[in-house]
Structure 1
């Protein structure tokens, strides 16, 4: 990420599409615009650009916005973000970009990090950036998205997907989760957590889109599993069995597992591993504890077990992660 060298802010360009949705459109400025280093210096520069030329851009609300920069701003960006739009005609029925939008996307430099929020994924897909790759979009559009782009591995159950240089989020507020994830990936949990506190949102949400999809419930009063999750977070360092969680809700293991997945979108085991990885990340960034002790306090038991789960989730070893994100850690 070259612009982070010598305290030069990483440049984020947000593409203002006709018919844009103001909520999603404002997320990048809100999240990246609040990120600061220890000296208070901005870590990102966020610019907004139009598809054709500077000027007035229609929104789906009762107001328009004025954009000062044209598509040339895409050529100097380190990260390009495409938020959602309700505008028809941006993508053809055959899944191709409108000519002016295609010309704008062609200005993006090779190697630029590409990000979509909600249905902005259609633009990345039509530009060929998602071919053969995993992606997500708003759950209500997932089936149509998959039919239009059959070569993309669509996952409608997650809040966002990080595939390295191309990332996509689910609908609406999932864009906040994705942008916070990018801040965390770029600068560590401490900076991301500070941005989350200032934005008054959780730094990390559990589960995926499944918890927000309305579906008929087989029982009129579905018990929550929140009490079991809260207990688990207080006892992450201890061995936790599925039976222990089910007992907190006075449910059978089978019923608890089903209700947990309906609420959170993942199995209890997947959720618990994810929480332990997050605990390990926090300890690696903020403490000088040994790897063995981090593994114990995170509930993995052994350093080997933590390394396996940590690498599967984060993509690097705990030692490498600490070297990158803990100030003063030995190289």
Structure 2
């Protein structure tokens, strides 16, 4: 049942409208309700109101065969702060780019737009991805690019954040993107809480490859997981490839190959991402100076921290801290 914002004494919740078209992918339909509807602040207060809309307000059949009764029709999108479009299992929108009447117009509002998997075809058909970077499941990236040549399709990444329009790859990447939204809106601590509650990884970088070979670990345990876990506990140290390989008991060449097979990233890129994530957490949750944050995260100097944080998310440390501690997300 929808939460009634009028029953709360606080500010209205940020409203998320999930647009369910016919043959919506059942698993993806539930993700916004689980990860946004289930998001809570440190006092266990809800952070989002999540409702479901269909074209005419009537039930739709999901990819799993059961029917879903929505909260309303397309008019709900007019009051949304964020609209999430889950994937669709085939249909005209994927074959010809044809949308049901009224959908394209309803997607022209000011709301932030988010697609999961083949939901990108819906946003593209509405013209909302023209000239923008976007992604979808790697099985359908060529089809999306051919059907909508004005979209800058990236076939390899987990998700793309283009500000007010965000797209993701397949099922699990939709989870990554929704956690990214929570992190962007409310910080790492909140995103980590909801990830822990749902028993999923709290963070995978959006630029990570969609398709990563993950071989069965060698019987002698010669993978890189133990080294990664060790490094994450000691990010303040100035690690080198030689040191990482020595900890894993392999040559640098073998370590680098195994690391990429298991994570889809080079060791040094992965290390930088872990440092950035720790720095963000410290900026959000502590009053430590920028120099201290830089040292704890392993960047060494405030200048290095500023350079890496700006490269990763486009803002300086103080601006990031002010943004996180600023006013709550508007309804």
Shorter-chain TM-score range: 0.7 to 0.9
Q: Which residue of structure 2 lines up, in the alignment, with residue 273 of structure 1?
A: 272
2:35 corresponds, among 20, 31, 37, to: 31
* Partners of 1:223 and 1:171 in 2: CA distance: 30
Alignment RMSD (CA, Å): 2.6
* Partners of 1:307 and 1:115 in 2: CA distance: 29
* Partners of 2:196 and 2:214 in 1: CA distance: 32
Q: Which residue of structure 1 lines up, in the alignment, with residue 255 of structure 2?
A: 256
Distance 1:326 1:77, change over 3 A: closer
Contact 2:158 2:210 in 1 (8 A): no
SS in 2 for 1:262: helix
Q: Which residue of structure 1 lines up, in the alignment, with residue 98 of structure 2?
A: 97
Q: Which residue of structure 1 lines up, in the alignment, with residue 289 of structure 2?
A: 290
Q: Which residue of structure 1 lines up, in the alignment, with residue 244 of structure 2?
A: 245
Distance 1:154 1:260, change over 3 A: farther
* Partners of 2:176 and 2:231 in 1: CA distance: 22
The alignment's TM-score, normalised by the length of structure 1, stands at 0.88
SS in 1 for 2:156: coil
Q: Point out where structure 1 has 5 or more consecutive residues left out of the alignment.
A: none
Q: Deviations over 1:54-103 (max 9, x none)?
A: 2221111132211231111111111111001113212443xx33242xx2
Contact 2:36 2:48 in 1 (8 A): yes
Q: Which residue of structure 2 lines up, in the alignment, with residue 13 of structure 1?
A: 17
Contact 2:93 2:125 in 1 (8 A): no
Contact 2:138 2:210 in 1 (8 A): no
Q: Which residue of structure 1 lines up, in the alignment, with residue 303 of structure 2?
A: 304
- How far 1:12 moved relative to its partner? 0.6
* Partners of 1:140 and 1:223 in 2: CA distance: 32
1:48 corresponds, among 43, 52, 62, to: 52
Q: Point out where structure 2 has 5 or more consecutive residues left out of the alignment.
A: none
SS in 2 for 1:177: helix
Q: Which residue of structure 2 lines up, in the alignment, with residue 107 of structure 1?
A: 106
Contact 1:60 1:86 in 2 (8 A): yes
Q: Which residue of structure 2 lines up, in the alignment, with residue 319 of structure 1?
A: 318
1:225 aligns with 2:229: no
SS in 2 for 1:173: helix
Distance 1:156 1:216, change over 3 A: farther
Pairing 1:145-156 to 2, within 5 Å after superposition:
145-156=144-155
- Aligned residue pairs total 318
1:83 aligns with 2:80: no
SS in 1 for 2:106: coil
SS in 2 for 1:270: helix
Distance 1:301 1:317, change over 3 A: same
Q: Which runs of 4+ in 1 moved over 4 A?
A: 206-209, 211-217, 219-223
Contact 1:11 1:44 in 2 (8 A): yes
* Partners of 1:89 and 1:207 in 2: CA distance: 29
* Partners of 1:255 and 1:245 in 2: CA distance: 11
Q: Which residue of structure 1 lines up, in the alignment, with residue 72 of structure 2?
A: 69
* Partners of 2:107 and 2:38 in 1: CA distance: 25
The alignment's TM-score, normalised by the length of structure 2, stands at 0.88
Q: Which residue of structure 2 lines up, in the alignment, with residue 161 of structure 1?
A: 160
Q: Deviations over 1:11-70 (max 9, x none)?
A: 11101111111111100000111122344332211110002x122211111322112311
Q: Deviations over 1:226-279 (max 9, x none)?
A: 122112212210001111122233332223223322321222111111110000
